[in-house]
């Protein structure tokens, strides 16, 4: 097997919330024509069977995992191959949200195994899905529960939510907010299943009040926008007031471990995650919702989550979340500069966001790549050089430290 860089061919997922027309980031990245009114939601780069990448080698096209299986130690690296059973441990994505994604969370490994065994149709694999999201331009997202103080303020500011939950439950939370968040949220979610008419009435009352308000918050405006999309009673419309509304600038990132409720609102991001597609949804989606499971798997941690910052004028930015499946680097290379890359943890996948480069595996041979290309570097290469022909921005995904 020739240990050299290989260009990957990847699949686009056209979920309904994806960006469309002039806002469609993914076809612009890939240099493809945008089809009118077609949503371009995610580009998947990896081995997941729902949308596997392929590569051309030895005169034919191969599914990426099939090709890795021919020599996993040389491609993944011996340690990675051993730790992850000859499988690529991560999935790299570009995500482009034109509309709000569902209110969701991801299970841990044990929960994923149980969910997959119980309901393989909706939970397609038995793996957990910790993930990191890094803003390409900007990202607005709902992530994690507000602090107890902010949640008490929310219930006071939005009596329609308080009334729907019930005065007794709300008062229990207000009196001891650090102890009763799970009970409060579980009650709100379970009542949405048992009393949809009451939920619809509360949503209508809140919408009527906010629509004539001269002092709408960002969350208020988002609620009114989504209420025009989700006409049926949807508890996600209330959940968006319970979670932190955050904003990421370009290059900033956020890590989402198992059990953290979240929803991306708008923006273009690079995502890296364990190789899984397990999502437990509870609102703001036409897809399958599993409210009982969501309330059970949440960690109920509170407060604004930590944001990975980027250092100005730094060539290399490292994003190292506390997982063994993946880590990321962002490279910003000026024109006619070179960067030496050592492959210390195993296989790497590069994603070209801007510019054009040459990748050299020795002094005599180089291959040209441009914006939109994704490149697999087998672990057996051990090191290589990136030389920029234009100013370039590159993300590198690789296994985490064991």
With the CA atoms of 13, 17, 18 and 19 taken in that order, what torsion angle do they form, in degrees rounded to the nearest 10? 170
| Tally of CA atoms within 13 A in the half-sphere of 307 that contains its CB | 20
Q: Contact 43/26 with Cβ under 8 angstroms? A: yes
The owner of tokens 């801007």 is 354
Residue 193 neighbours by CB under 8 Å, 6+ apart: 291
Residue 368 neighbours by CB under 8 Å, 6+ apart: 356, 357, 358, 389
Active site residues: 281
C-alpha span between 227 and 73 (Å, rounded): 52
- Residue-wise over 43-58: b if at least 16 C-beta within 10 A, else e? bbbbbbeebbbebeee
Enumerate helices (H) and strands (E) in the chain, giving the number of each: 13, 21
Based on the number of CB atoms within 10 Å of its own CB, is 348 exposed (0-12), middle (13-18) or buried (19 or more)? Answer: buried
Backbone torsions φ then ψ of 181, nearest 5 degrees? -65, -45
Q: What does the angle CA 162 – CA 148 – CA 240 come to, to the nearest 5 degrees?
A: 55
What is the H or E stretch that residue 392 is in? strand 392-398
Backbone torsions φ then ψ of 294, nearest 5 degrees? -60, -50
C-alpha span between 50 and 390 (Å, rounded): 35
């Amino acid at each position: 097997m020739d240990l050299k860089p290989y260009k990957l061919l990847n699949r686009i997922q056209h979920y309904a919330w994806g960006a469309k027309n002039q806002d469609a980031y993914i076809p612009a990245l890939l240099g493809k024509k945008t089809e009118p009114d077609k949503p371009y939601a995610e580009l998947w780069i990896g081995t997941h069977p729902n949308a596997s990448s392929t590569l051309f080698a030895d005169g034919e096209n191969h599914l990426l995992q099939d090709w890795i299986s021919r020599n996993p130690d040389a491609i993944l690296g011996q340690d990675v191959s051993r730790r992850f059973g000859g499988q690529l441990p991560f999935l790299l994505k570009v995500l482009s949200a034109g509309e709000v994604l569902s209110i969701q969370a991801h299970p841990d490994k044990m929960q994923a195994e149980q969910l997959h065994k119980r309901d393989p149709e909706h939970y397609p694999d038995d793996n957990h899905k910790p993930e990191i999201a890094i803003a390409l331009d900007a990202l607005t997202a709902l992530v994690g529960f507000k602090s107890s103080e902010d949640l008490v303020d929310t219930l006071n500011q939005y009596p329609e939510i308080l009334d729907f939950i019930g005065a007794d439950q709300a008062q229990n939370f207000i009196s001891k907010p650090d102890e009763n968040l799970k009970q409060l949220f579980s009650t709100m979610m379970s009542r949405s299943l048992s009393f949809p008419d009451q939920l619809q009435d509360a949503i209508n009352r809140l919408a009527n009040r906010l629509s004539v308000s001269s002092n709408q918050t960002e969350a208020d405006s988002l609620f009114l926008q989504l209420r025009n999309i989700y006409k049926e009673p949807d508890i996600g419309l209330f959940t968006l007031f319970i979670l932190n509304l955050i904003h990421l600038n370009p290059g900033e990132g956020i890590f989402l471990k198992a059990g953290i409720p979240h929803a991306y609102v708008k923006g273009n991001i690079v995502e890296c995650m364990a190789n899984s597609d397990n999502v437990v949804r509870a609102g703001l989606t036409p897809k399958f919702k599993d409210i009982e499971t969501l309330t059970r798997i949440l960690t109920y941690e509170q407060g604004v989550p930590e944001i990975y910052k980027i250092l100005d004028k730094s060539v290399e930015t490292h994003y190292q979340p506390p997982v063994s499946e993946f880590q990321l680097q962002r490279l910003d290379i000026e024109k006619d500069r070179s960067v030496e890359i050592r492959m210390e943890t195993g296989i790497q996948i590069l994603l070209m966001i801007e510019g054009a480069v040459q990748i050299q595996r020795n002094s005599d041979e180089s291959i040209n790549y441009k914006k939109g290309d994704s490149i697999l570097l087998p672990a057996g290469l051990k090191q290589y050089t990136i030389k920029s022909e234009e100013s370039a921005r590159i993300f590198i995904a690789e296994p985490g430290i064991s």
